Chains A and B, each alone.
Chain A
Amino acid sequence: MSAVWRASRAAVRRRRLQTAVIGAVVLVSSMALVVALGLLDVVSGPFDRLFGQAHGAHVVATYDAAKVSAAQLDRTAHRPGVRASAGPFPQAVTAMPESAASQMPGMAPGPLTVVGRAEPGGAVDRLDLFAGHWATEPGQIVLALPDAPGMAGGPHSPIGKRIQLPGTAPLTVVGLASSVSGTAQAWVAPQQIAGLHPTTYQMLYRFDRAATARQISKDTEAVSAGLPSGSLVAHQSYLTLKAQVAAKPNAFVPFLLAFGILGLLVAILIVGNVVSGAVVSGFRHIGVLKSLGFTPRQVVAVYLVMVCVPATVGAVVGTALGGVVARPLLHQVFQGAQLGTVNVIPTVGPWVYATTVLGMPLAVVLAALIPALRAHRLSAARAISAGSAPHGRRGPAVQRWLTGVRLPRSVTLGLGLPFARPGRALLTVASVLLGVATVTFATGLSATMVAYGDAVEGSGKVQSIVWRGQTRFGETAPHHADAAAQALLRGLPHAADVAAVGFLDVRMPGRSEGVTIEGVRGGMSALPGDLARGRWTRGPGEVVASGRFLAEQGVRLGDSFTLSATGGRQERVTLVGEVLAGPQNWMRADWSTVTALTPHTQANQYWVQLTGGADVSAYMKAVRAADPGLYPTEKTTVNAGAVTVISSASALTLMLTLVSAMGVFNTVVLSARERQRDLGMLKSIGMTPRQVTVMMVVSMAGLGLVGGILGLPLGVTAYRVVVPMTEHAAQLTFPDRMLDVWHAGTMTLLVLAGVAIAALGAVIPARAAARQTIARVLRTE
Chain B
Amino acid sequence: MTSEEISGTGRGDGVVVVRDQAVVRVSGLRKEYGDTAALNGVSLEIGAGDAVAVMGPSGCGKSTLLNMIAGLDRPSAGSVHVHGEDLGRINETGLALFRRRRIGMIFQFFNLVDDLPAIDNVALAAQLTGTPARQARRRALELLDELGIADRRNVYPAALSGGERQRVAVARALMNRPALLLADEPTGALDSHAGEQVMDLLLDLNELGQTLLLVTHDQRLATRCASRLVTMADGRITGERTLERTA
Contact = CB atoms under 8 A, between A and B. Distances in A.
Given A399-B115, A684-B99, A689-B96, A779 B108 contact: yes
B125 A685 contact: yes
Nearest to A688: B96
A774 B74 CA distance: 11
A574 B247 CA distance: 111
Given A403-B120, A686-B125, A394 B184 contact: no
A377 interface: no
Contacts of A684: 70, 72, 99, 103, 105, 107, 111
Interface string A386-417: 00011111111001100111101110010010
A399 B130 contact: no
A778 B63 CA distance: 11
A257 to B, nearest CB: 43
B173 to A, nearest CB: 8
A416 B112 CA distance: 16
Contact of A391 (B93, B96, B137, B158): B158
A470 interface: no
B127 interface: yes
A393 B115 CA distance: 8
Contacts of A685: 99-100, 104-105, 124-125, 128, 172-173, 175-176
Interface in B105-139: 105, 107-109, 111-117, 120, 123-125, 127-130, 132-134, 137
B223 interface: no
A678 B109 CA distance: 12
A773 interface: yes
Give the size category of A's interface with B: 35 or more
B73 A404 contact: no
A559 interface: no
B118 to A, nearest CB: 12
B96 A686 contact: yes
Interface string A761-778: 000000000010111001
Contact of B93 (A392, A690, A781): A690
A690 B97 CA distance: 11
A508 interface: no
A152 interface: no
A688 B97 contact: yes
B92 interface: yes
B157 interface: yes
Interface in A673-694: 677-678, 680-691
B115 A416 contact: yes
B73 A773 contact: yes
A404 B116 CA distance: 12
A385 B172 CA distance: 27
A638 interface: no
Contacts of B101: 686
A677 B110 CA distance: 10
B156 A775 contact: no
A420 interface: yes
B115 A395 contact: yes
A675 to B, nearest CB: 9
B197 interface: no
Given A683-B96, A779-B63, A399 B116 contact: yes
B130 A403 contact: no
A404 B72 contact: no
A707 B111 CA distance: 32
A390 B157 contact: yes
A389 B64 CA distance: 24
Interface centre among A391, A683, A775 (most CB of B within 10 A): A775
28 contacts: A389-B158, A390-B157, A391-B114, A394-B115, A395-B116, A395-B156, A400-B116, A403-B127, A404-B137, A406-B132, A409-B127, A409-B128, A420-B115, A681-B107, A683-B99, A684-B103, A684-B105, A685-B175, A686-B103, A686-B125, A686-B129, A686-B176, A688-B97, A689-B96, A691-B96, A773-B73, A779-B107, A781-B109
Given A394-B156, A686-B176, 4 more contacts: A681-B107, A682-B128, A686-B129, A779-B107
Enumerate the 5 nearest inter-chain pairs by beta-carbon distance, A residue then B residue, closest first: A686-B100, A395-B115, A409-B127, A681-B111, A688-B96
